[in-house]
Homo-oligomer: A and B are copies of this chain.
Amino acid sequence: MSEILDLAGIFVFALSGALMGVRKRLDVVGMGVLAGMTALGGGVVRDLILNVRPIAFQSLGYVLVPVVATVIVFFWHPHVARVMPAILVLDAAGLGLFCAVGTEKALEYGLNPLHAALLGVVTAVGGGMLRDVLAGEIPTLLYDRQLYAVPAMLGSACMAGLYAGLGLHGWPATLAAAVLAFVLRIAAMRRNWRAPLARGLSE
């Protein structure tokens, strides 16, 4: 169950990576690289920091799903681009899931709650940052003032609190943390909440 959810998140992230490849007129290799980086980059960095072999290099699904996403975007990108508003909702779901799963894995490997939550955020946003850097852009996360990292932080903190504070393990806790981050992310999009600039900078 948890692996299926994980693969669903990877699929959505891979679609967004491959679509950025189309927008920047990359070739099929570039599309595949961006798809794989977006989908797997955050988890690979998390596992390197936990000092374990990355899950992406142990399970076949993690490699096949980005390949499938690349093929779909290669042939049907106008249709995929047309349903991007729906994909943004799925992306929010992926964000919530990745921050919860990442935090939980870090706690299981013995990190304290603060570090585990930080690593959950890295899991959720790391792939997108790598995608942007490879595509020659400053990561959107750093400047566009949408609340994208903040919902992940709160979801990760929720997961860490449930796990370390209340002793709640397993999928109910994961789901609660993922839903919290998802709802906050959707609300931030709907209501156009914005991250502040440093004090005194004009809007």
Work out how many copies of this chain go into the complex: 3
A138 to B34, CA, bound (A): 12
A198 to B129, CA, bound (A): 23
What sequence of 0s and 1s flags, for each residue 126-147 of chain A, a beta carbon within 8 Å of any chain B beta carbon? Answer: 0001000111111101111100
Is A114 a contact partner of B30 (Cβ separation < 8 A)? no
Number of A residues with CB within 8 Å of any CB on chain B: 59
**Residue ID in chain B nearest A135 by CB atoms:** B138
A48 interface residue per 8 A CB criterion: yes
Is B58 a contact partner of A115 (Cβ separation < 8 A)? yes
What sequence of 0s and 1s flags, for each residue 107-123 of chain A, a beta carbon within 8 Å of any chain B beta carbon? Answer: 00001101100110000
Collect the chain B residues with CB atoms within 8 Å of residue A197's CB: 25-28
Of the A-B pairs whose beta carbons lie under 8 Å apart in the complex, a sample of 12, sorted by A's number, is A22-B198, A24-B138, A26-B143, A27-B144, A28-B195, A28-B197, A29-B141, A49-B57, A51-B51, A63-B115, A74-B198, A75-B199
Residues of A whose CB lies within 8 Å of any CB of B are 21-22, 24-31, 33-34, 44, 48-54, 57-58, 60, 63, 73-75, 77-78, 111-112, 114-115, 118-119, 129, 133-139, 141-145, 148-150, 194-201
